[in-house]
Structure 1
Amino acid sequence: MNTMVTGAAAFLGRFEGLRERLPGGRTPWVAKLRAEAAESFRAQGLPGRRIEAWHYTDLGVLAQLGFTEALTLADEAPALPPARAAHRAVFVDGRFAPALSQLSAGAAPLAEALDATQGRLGALAQTLPIVALNTMLFEDGLVLDVPAGVDAGEMELLSFATHAGRAIAFHPRHLIRLGEGARLTLIDTSIGEAEATYLHNPVYEIAVAEGATLSHIRIQREGRAGFQLSTVLATVQAGGTYDNFTLNAGGRLVRNEIHVALQGPKAACHMNGAQLVAEGQHADTTTFLDHAAPDCASRQTYKTVLAGRSRGVFQGKILVRQAAQRTDGYQMNQALLLSDDAEINAKPQLEIYADDVKCSHGATVGALDEAQLFYLRARGIPADTARAMLVEAFLTEAIEGVTNPLAQEALSEAISGWWQKEAV
């Protein structure tokens, strides 16, 4: 039996054993949603490298680890980073932790609010195998609604993975909806204990209404033995804006997949990010931006720094439909290789069916500038410090577009000193 089928069988076996104990297991519409997802996953299995979208990322190792669910909450509260915002939703091993959380109005754990999500849960789900895996096995997540005209300020979403003594998997489902003219900054952080082996498979269904603005700052700092496969599915209506910045700075194997559809005139999307990939790590950012309406704008800039024997991937596709006249789209991917053993695979794509557009894309790959390094060394700066300064300068440019002070602080802390701590 090949790896893809073996991996599917293991997860499907978990589903069959848990299906009635999962949230909504005996609720007809939830049971139907899960069963349909299971059939989709059964037909597709874990994606393999023969699938074009997964050509550079091999999930074969997931089939070998025998993940199980964390059926009970951790005995002790984990040591979490200090709160940055007044409101915080904390999930430990995929389960909502009420004692560690302070929810805002309009926020609730999915396991408690499941009945109210009928017709909404799964509305944006596509026929993606990793989304199907999440749908059949999700246990909890965040449901967040910001009413029309409300500026909700900042909120934190924090996922923490513990060392359970075995390989565990959790599949949170987050539903975020902004009403007309609403605003929110969501600082979304994933961390895990260094020795923990786990799979974190979050799916986000995000709806941004007319004139609303969501700034979604994602900071991925999973444990070095952890895996993360995340999928963002977002729709943006007329005059709305979805800003996504993702920092990949942890995990053994990580894939950040983002699908955004601009569905109304003058909608906008900014998808930017940075990947810090050290020895033995694999980081994959894959984006799909669907310009489905006229007069929309999009910007994508991703920077990747690779050290040791590491591998990075960037795949970005912009689709401009025939109705999307006067589209303005830009995409750039830049990689900095700090080692002869590092590897980057870049695949930018444009697919355009409209004739009045302004679209461009590009990719660059290079090493540290020896002239700049010599300049710093000549002024008495040690070699490692000089390299760290140049790496941080390269990355700082990536986060300049993040305007929220709390989010900038969180990103700067994650990036600061990365060379000395990880790229050794």
Structure 2
Amino acid sequence: MSAITQDRSETLAPFGTRLDRVTDPVRKAAAGALHRSGLPDRRVEEWRYTSLRFLNETPLAAPGDLYDAGKIQAQLEELGLAAGPLADLPRLVFVNGRYAAPFSVLPSGVEVSFFAKAQTFGTLSSPDRDPLTALNTVLAEDGAQLQVPAGKNVGHVLLVSLGQTDEAVSFHPRHAVTLEEGASLVLISIQAGRGRYLHNPVLEVRVGEHASLKHITLQKEGEAAACLATTYADVAGRGTYDSFVLGIGGALSRQEIHARLSAPHATVHVNGAQRLAARQIGDITSVVTHAAPDCISRQTVRNVLDGHARGVFQGKVYVDRVAQKTDGYQMNQALLLSETAEIDAKPELEIYADDVKCSHGATVGALDEDQLFYLRSRGVPDAEARQILIHAFMDEALALVEDETARALCVQMLAGAFPVTGETV
């Protein structure tokens, strides 16, 4: 065994013998791929900026079946989901990766099933190429599977994943959403929790012709937690997948999105914002594949980084030879609040068609001293002036969230974590 192979095998040590207990053929194949590759390290190009050493610090057990209902209710209240307009929205709540029926309200007009019963993995994911997806395939226990009938406008559905643990655990939900022709849905995914854990969800999305899915992810994991989420989306002709990620929690987080525009006139938006402090690491990675002509993709990501925080943006637009008249755009902007904060930006264009309009850009800067002086000269304290400018920077990113309910929830969570007074709660 070579040194590299041995090192990669050792990356799986936190999961103990859990990876060797599977018998299902799909799971066994994923386990084999995982043992051959190990978890990715910085020698893997797609992971050169994001280290998974966090996972090696302690064993990660399977979560138990029991949870504290009072603590779950308190988490829902803290997230603003127990009162007000959000309390009336249908929701699917998962605790430590398992469906929690007492806190859930099933949506009407949607076919709902659960991975725990059907154990259907779907065909969009790539466990043979993506180790975190392989890990999910081996260890997945539950997840939501939603199917919206043709022509149905469902409105909002909340997909809430809560981590609650007194010991180090990992959980790996397996979700799927399918919109049939002309259907529409606003899916708000909320990732939060308390304790030390790894949350490793995989979501497969299929958007039918003329269908529209607005997918907003709010990541507010516990300060000792890691969230490594992977989404695969396939968009049919004249369909729209509009994604937005807000990342403010977790010691380590990565939101990885693979979106494929598979038929003419499809549209994909993969936008996001991160506000990180202390030693947080936040990674937004995307691969948008234009596999058909006359398609549009947009991606704008903003980062606000303080302390020793590090933000990562990797966005790749791949344009197939047949994808003429592609219109693709990427922009990453970062605001560094300290000399020790870091942003790593890697926009990519890989184009094989000759009639396209594609561009990308990146900017990095600090707070504008003239604007700070203007506010201070009018009696605004320095800390508050800084927060006002930071909120203004983030507000431009949140404006990309077209759904008012989802945008209000983003604003509420961001303000709760970083109030204008300058004190973190």
Output the amino acid matched with 1:216. H
Match of 1:140 in 2: 142
After superposition, residues 108-257 of structure 1 pair within 5 angstroms as 108-114=113-119, 117=120, 121-126=121-126, 127-162=129-164, 164-193=165-194, 196-257=195-256
Q: Is the 8 A contact 1:278 1:422 kept in 2?
A: no
- What whole-Å deviation, never above 9, does each CA across 1:205-250 have from its counterpart, x for those lacking one? 1100111000000000001001000000010000000000000100
Match of 1:276 in 2: 275
Q: Does 1:89 align with 2:92?
A: yes
Q: Does 1:53 align with 2:55?
A: no
Distance apart, 1:107 and its partner CA:
1.6
Q: 1:417 to 1:373 in 2, by over 3 A?
A: farther
Which SS does the other structure have where 1:264 is aligned? Answer: coil
Match of 1:395 in 2: 394
Q: 1:43 to 1:122 in 2, by over 3 A?
A: farther
Match of 1:338 in 2: 337
Q: Does 1:308 align with 2:307?
A: yes
- What whole-Å deviation, never above 9, does each CA across 1:271-290 have from its counterpart, x for those lacking one? 11101111010001110000
- What whole-Å deviation, never above 9, does each CA across 1:59-108 have from its counterpart, x for those lacking one? 12212311001031314341213251521000001110001001123122
65, 90, 94: which one pairs with 2:58?
65
Q: Is the 8 A contact 1:161 1:192 kept in 2?
A: yes
TM-score (norm 2): 0.92
Q: Is the 8 A contact 1:266 1:297 kept in 2?
A: yes
Aligned partners of 2:179 and 2:133: how far apart in 1? Answer: 22
After superposition, residues 252-401 of structure 1 pair within 5 angstroms as 252-401=251-400
Distance apart, 1:422 and its partner CA:
6.8
Distance apart, 1:113 and its partner CA:
3.5
Q: Is the 8 A contact 1:90 1:159 kept in 2?
A: yes
Distance apart, 1:386 and its partner CA:
0.4
Q: Is the 8 A contact 1:12 1:42 kept in 2?
A: no
Distance apart, 1:38 and its partner CA:
0.3
Aligned partners of 1:180 and 1:12: how far apart in 2? Answer: 44
Output the amino acid matched with 1:106. E
Q: 1:62 to 1:422 in 2, by over 3 A?
A: farther
Match of 1:35 in 2: 28
RMSD: 1.5
Which SS does the other structure have where 1:206 is aligned? Answer: strand
Aligned partners of 2:226 and 2:131: how far apart in 1? Answer: 16
Distance apart, 1:389 and its partner CA:
0.4
Aligned partners of 1:422 and 1:37: how far apart in 2? Answer: 45
Residues paired across the two proteins, number: 405
Q: 1:289 to 1:12 in 2, by over 3 A?
A: farther
The unaligned stretches of length 5 or more in structure 1 are 20-24, 26-30
Q: Does 1:107 align with 2:100?
A: no
Distance apart, 1:9 and its partner CA:
4.0
After superposition, residues 14-33 of structure 1 pair within 5 angstroms as 14-17=18-21, 19=22, 31-33=24-26
- What whole-Å deviation, never above 9, does each CA across 1:369-409 have from its counterpart, x for those lacking one? 00000000000000111000000000000011212121011
Distance apart, 1:3 and its partner CA:
4.8
Aligned partners of 1:122 and 1:109: how far apart in 2? Answer: 13
Q: Is the 8 A contact 2:16 2:59 kept in 1?
A: no
Q: 1:92 to 1:205 in 2, by over 3 A?
A: same
Aligned partners of 2:371 and 2:219: how far apart in 1? Answer: 30
The unaligned stretches of length 5 or more in structure 2 are none
- What whole-Å deviation, never above 9, does each CA across 1:117-174 have from its counterpart, x for those lacking one? 3xxx230111200000000000001100001110010000001111x22101000000
